[in-house]
Amino acid sequence: MGGSEFGLFMCRKGGSVLRKAIFYALRDRGFTDINPLDCGTERCAPGHTFGPCVREYYLVHYVFSGKGRFMAGDKTYHLSAGQFFLIRPHEVTTYAADTVDPWRYIWVGFVGKLAWRFDTLPTPVGTLPDSLFRELCGMLEDDFPGWGSMREEYVATVVHRMMAALFADRPSGNHYASRVETFIRTSYMQDITVQSIADSLNLDRRYLSRLFKDKYGVTIQEYLLSIRLENAARMLQEGYSVNDSAAMCGYSDRSNFSRMFRRRYGVWPSEYARQ
């Protein structure tokens, strides 16, 4: 976008405003950490629905008043004042205002090299103080003097403050990667998957996989396979049968175990046991 674009939408019935939306498509200032793309505020009409829709960026809505529903995947979340909902890139989402007490919210869309931190949230909904958004909402609704020259900087600051509130006490990425490594070494014999590991830590699978590969240079799946096969090879050398070695290393399918073993060691498990 070369410059900011402003929009105002109002829907009336009789003398009452049923729906009012104010939105800005922001200039691309090329900010590295957090680069805001759009922002706006809306007082929704009863039952007003948006979606299903897919976006290419992160989008946070914060509810000032009223109620509504947010649908992401197969889950539905019911929200009210003081709560936010997060839309991640490439997710199919729908959200709808309550038919009796429709919500009024503010939204901010953004990208940037720090935006991935929102993938670490265990759930796409949560609570935040409205003081984080109240001033921005006032600027949007009142056409604050000087707003045009500082718009992108201020919206980026709001996102940074939001991140500080959400992530101040969260453990580091290395902490999570180390926990996964320890968990695999002590639980490889169980029926575990990358998704089940991520669920146990309340983390997004994509984010956890990125952390692990950054620290150890391999994916979680590759590491799990390596640990299982190393222990299976040790058990075969100690005299355990192929079936027992496979079962004790988390394989319920012997044929799959044999294929994986041969790919790693160049021989079938039964041949390896005779060496």
Q: Provide the 8-state DSSP code for 120.
A: G
Q: Which of 113, 91, 129 is nearest to 32 (CA)?
A: 113
Residue 207: which domain range?
Answer: 173-274
Using pLDDT thresholds of 50, 70 and 90, give the confidence band for residue 6.
very low
Instruction: List pLDDT tens digits, range 217-233.
Output: 999 999 999 999 999 99
Q: What is the DSSP string of 222-251?
A: HHHHHHHHHHHHHHHHTT--HHHHHHHTT-
Domain boundary among 140, 167, 194: 167
**161 and 241, same domain (yes or no):** no
Do 100 and 146 fall within a single domain? yes
Q: Is 114 in the same domain as 180?
A: no
Let me know whether 220 and 260 are in one domain. Answer: yes
Q: Give the pLDDT score at 147.
A: 54
Q: pLDDT tens, 173-196?
A: 677 888 899 888 888 888 888 988
Q: Which of 152, 167, 182 is the last residue of a domain?
A: 167
Instruction: Give me the number of domains the chain comprises.
Output: 2
pTM over 0.75: no
Q: Is the peptide bond before 124 cis (omega within 30 degrees of 0)?
A: no
CATH number at residue 133: 2.60.120.10
